[in-house]
Structure 1
Amino acid sequence: MSETLDRLSAEGVAIWLDDISRDRLQSGNLEALIRDRRVVGVTSNPTIFAKALSKGTAYDAQLRDLAVRGVDVEEAARAITTYDIRWACDVLRPVFERTAHLDGRVSIEVDPRLARRPEPTVAEARALWWMVDRPNLMVKIPATAEGLPAITQAISEGINVNVTLIFSLERYGQVIDAYFAGLEQARAAGRDLSQIASVASFFVSRVDTEIDKRLDKLGSAKAAALKGKSGVANARLAYALYEEKFSSDRWQALREAGARPQRPLWASTGVKDPSLPDTLYVDELVAPGTVNTMPEATLEAAADHSQIRGDTVRGSYEEARAHMAALKEVGVDYDDVVRVLEEEGVEKFEASWAELLSTIERELADKGEGAAK
């Protein structure tokens, strides 16, 4: 057990693993991370599944059966991914019960090709909720403008939602409002609000990557001095907005009806710039009631040498606002940055989904030929 991760957890940060694979489940590695690394949740995305399918033989038996049955590639993709998610939900079920249903959550994403189509997104969310059939599941819905009504509808039906691909403060405010609206509809329908959970995944490192690229192009000493700080500043201001929204009269009415807060989740926490500390997005984003979902490399780095020095978010809001004002002053257009990041985020997930389908298609053809011999 890592004392550093113990301290992080004690500060109110839930540690979730941003990875899943059949190998990790079969080997008992996930149980080990729960035991030794304070992991209390798991997130997945199309990129993670594409990577998992491309390595080893863990999926061979299931792929062979799917090929023999003549299952098409889309159905096979859902059979494979929901199998892993269901298994992970079962592994984390004791955490789910021990934390009174706060943690022990596992996330699976809707088909990213539906990111800008609300009705098919909701239909897919319902299908995943039914296929996995575990109370500790979360369905990931991208926070596009078109995704907002899908978030509200899914929450209103009692489907737990991990809202993903949030980059801008404006969109984050809209996501919280969509959550409130879903809870209000659920309450009107007589649902038990205490059984509905949600997190809002606010992406961090990609903000630095995009803004630092623009700062480099500017080429001034003033611009260079702002590098490597925007992702943290943006996330800290998101937490300020979280505090504001979740102290409103609207929220108090929902809380009194049994609702749970939608926790901020720091996503994209693997540091992309090697000149920055590899635990930057852990050490600088410690605040109560948050989730930090980490790739395993970041988790191990945090266990080894994170500097946990208490709450590093509250009390930093003025500094964060000053940084964002300085970005504007040197010519970085924040609104354009977050627009580009959202568009690229959807495109990257669509590309990963296509890669996953292509990998499965090849494997099905190969296993089908082998079964026919």
Structure 2
Amino acid sequence: MTQQTQQPGTTSDALSAISAAGVSVWLDDLSRDALQSGALKNLIDTRSVVGVTTNPTIFAKSIENGDAYEPQLRELAAAGASLDEAVLKLTTADVRDACDLFADIHAATGGQDGRVSIEVDPRLARETEATIASAHTLWETVDRPNLHVKIPATVEGLPAITAAIGAGISVNVTLVFSLDRFRAVAQAYVDGLELAHQAGRDLSTIRSVSSLFLSRIDTQVDKALDEIGTDEARALRGKAAIANARLAYEVYEEIFSTPRFEALAVAGAHTQRPLWASTGTKDPAYPDTMYVDELVVADVVNTMPGKTLEAVADHSRADGTDTVHGTFEDSRQILDSLERLGVPYGKILEGLEEAGVASFEKSWDELLKDVTDGLAAAGS
């Protein structure tokens, strides 16, 4: 049921409450139009937004639909820029400007928030060395301390995460689905911190988040439950992703309370915060604020598409109460029940990683086409 409608230009009580509880509200969207029109600044002022995430899909849509890119496309066409050069310059310009917009938040939070993410070329998801090289290129091109370079959590991506962190590059690890991979990502981060420490780097400047995707899990698990069709199966619909995320938080607390990490923390290291991603519900039967309301806990990020952000502002029931601690045993029972019913949970998560990489590769191809068409139009 919708509560009292949030008026434009005012701060949402729910967003303020979860922010005060330790949830960093980030926007899962970025466009030059939003930067230039002041729309993004307005979300900072009225929606408690303290960071931004991007991905190839967001950039493809932004450039396809935005006239704001035409002046830079004309400059790039006149300079004879290659396609790859043009894509790099277009995307990093937006991210650099967003980093500048969030610079005050970055300073006020000691570097924790005010973060803007940009992803390495998704076609490199299975190539460790090429991913490392791409991460360095993005880090050096944007040249802002509040950047996060997004690296996918593939098996090949794990050593790239370690190498990037070891080089002092802050990383947003994307496309995390399983608890095993969430744990492996955290270990890769700690490995990287140790490399950075050995190299004499200032660990306090290095930040990282591990992006656990949510709604995509429920979409696929619910399909399997619907095929089973029993009352017990139907009762588990829409519960897998939240249970998975809550147990990931348990893993987070475990790993970042070990003597190994505590030694790094003394040297200035920060934990790798869980980030709740894919938080827009895809099943209309579910509350559109579900992946926010059910995952309120300290030291996490929730990155929301604009529609979800406005839904939370308008009618979320979140009041800052912790909805994660005290749920771990129930969450284990939910995942155990899925396995007992015959839901191929592990295979579903493996398939989601493959599908996620493929989806971003497709979006990258669309981005390349949009930039190719834009350069051609600008040069004609």
**Fold similarity call, TM over 0.5:** yes
What TM-score results when the alignment is normalised by the length of structure 2?
0.96
Q: Say whether 1:167 aligns with 2:177.
A: yes
Q: How many angstroms apart in 2 are the aligned matches of 1:276 and 1:74?
A: 41
Alpha-carbon separation, structure 2, partners of 1:94 and 1:145: 36
Q: Distance in 2 between matches of 1:77 and 1:313?
A: 40
**Residues 100-119 of structure 1 mapped to structure 2, 5 A cutoff:** 100-119=110-129
Counterparts of 1:132-151 in structure 2, within 5 Å, are: 132-151=142-161
Shift of 1:7: 0.5
Q: 2:211 matched to which residue of 1?
A: 201
TM-superposed CA distance for 1:278, in Å, is 0.1
Matched, 1:71 2:81: yes
Name the amino acid aligned to 1:298: T
Residue type of the alignment partner of 1:331: G
1:265 alignment partner, SS class: strand
Give 2:225's match in structure 1, choosing from 215, 220, 225. Answer: 215
Question: What's the CA shift string for 1:25-58, capped at 9, x where partnerless?
Answer: 0001111111110000000000000010111311
Aligned pairs for 1:279-294 (under 5 A) are 279-294=289-304
The aligned residue for residue 85 of structure 1 is 95
Q: Is 2:49 the counterpart of 1:42?
A: no
User: What is the CA deviation profile of residues 242-296 of structure 1, one whole-angstrom value per residue up to 9, with x for unaligned ones?
Assistant: 0111111111111111101110000000111110000000000001000000001
Report the TM-score when normalising by structure 1. Answer: 0.98
Aligned partners of 1:132 and 1:15: how far apart in 2?
23
The structure 1 residue matched to 2:341, chosen from 330, 344, 354, is: 330
Aligned to 1:358: 369
Task: State the one-letter code of the partner of 1:47.
Answer: T
| Contact 2:32/2:66 (8 A) holds in 1 | no
350-359 or 69-78, which moves further after superposition?
A: 69-78
* Residues 18, 318 of structure 2: 8 Å contact kept: yes
Task: Name segments (4+ residues, structure 1) moved above 4 Å.
Answer: none
Counterpart of 1:345? 356
Quick one: distance in 2 between partners of 1:294 and 1:175? 22
Match of 1:265 among 265, 271, 275: 275
Residue in 2 aligned with 1:253? 263
Letter in 2 for 1:90: D
Once residues 308 and 318 of structure 2 are traced to their aligned partners in structure 1, the CA distance between those partners, rounded to angstroms, is 14
Provide the rounded CA distance (Å) in 2 between the counterparts of 1:284 and 1:350: 31
SS at match of 1:33: helix
- CA drift of 1:69 comes to 1.6
Supply the distance in 2 between the matched residues of 1:56 and 1:345 (Cα, whole angstroms). Answer: 25
Match of 1:277 among 276, 284, 287: 287
Identity, % of aligned pairs?
A: 58
Paired letter, 2:335: M
Distance across 1 between alignment mates of 2:318 and 2:280: 17
CA distance in 2, matches of 1:129, 1:334: 36
Which ranges in structure 1 are unaligned for 5 or more consecutive residues?
A: none
Give structure 2 stretches of 5+ with no counterpart.
1-10
What is the rounded CA distance, in whole Å, between the counterparts of 1:352 and 1:218 in structure 2? 33
* Root-mean-square deviation over aligned CA pairs: 0.7
Equivalent runs, 1:216-231 vs 2, <5 Å: 216-231=226-241
Q: Give the whole-Å Cα distance in 2 for the aligned partners of 1:166 and 1:333.
A: 18
Match of residue 320 from structure 1? 331
Report the counterpart of residue 60 of structure 1 in structure 2. 70
Letter in 1 for 2:43: L
Whole-angstrom distance in 1 between the partners of 2:273 and 2:73 = 37
Matched AA of 1:349: F
Identify which of 354, 368, 371 aligns with 2:379. Answer: 368
Give, as a single letter, the amino acid of the residue that structure 1 aligns with 2:376. A
